[in-house]
Chain A
């Protein structure tokens, strides 16, 4: 998608944590399927 100045490759290298505290790379979410990421402001 042009015009947003986002590097999906860079984003994919970043890690996030699941409920067990395990870290995984974001790219795993969209490697084989379409991923819909919703980033919320906070958990409150």
Chain B
């Protein structure tokens, strides 16, 4: 549920990322067969990829564990999503995996890294756009 809301909100900024000649991509830890439905639900039109082995998550140092899913912030985020009309779907991927964001390039330059500390702790879109514009 939280991830649907996150990507649906991100889709509202796709034009701004394109205007800055950056390539926006969402990656999930499930199987590729789930990508078309996720695109349809979120309205996201940029790149969508699946990383079923979660190797990219591990390479970026993103955490995994039950303790990261509990707490007030995840609960508040879930309630916020429900208020916004986002309904939970069938979970595809790892329930215990946390995500994050990275801004890289051109070339192998890491400009920005955000690691979720707990569920619902999403990277601010303004920070992502700021990291892109800082490299221009």
Query: Contact residues of A with B, CB < 8 Å?
Result: 1, 4-12, 14, 16-21, 26-27, 29-44
18 additional contacts (CB under 8 A) given A17-B49, A34-B104, A39-B56? A8-B108, A12-B108, A14-B51, A17-B31, A26-B56, A29-B104, A33-B21, A34-B20, A34-B23, A35-B105, A36-B102, A37-B25, A37-B56, A38-B27, A39-B62, A42-B28, A43-B37, A44-B90
Residues of chain B at interface, number, CB under 8 A: 73
Interface of chain B: mostly helix, strand, loop or mixed = mixed
CA distance A33 to B51 in the complex (A): 22
Instruction: Find chain B residues with CB under 8 A from A40 CB.
Output: 3, 6-7, 26-29, 99
With a cutoff of 8 Å between Cβ atoms, the chain A residues found around residue B23 in the complex are: 29-30, 33-36
Number of A-B contacts (CB under 8 A): 188
Please give me the residue from chain B that is nearest to A3 by CB atom. Answer: B113
B residues sitting closer than 8 Å to A (CB atoms) are 1-4, 6-7, 10, 17, 20-39, 47-52, 55-57, 59-62, 88-95, 97-113, 116, 119, 123, 128, 131-132, 135
Whole-angstrom distance between the alpha carbons of A20 and B94 in the complex?
A: 21
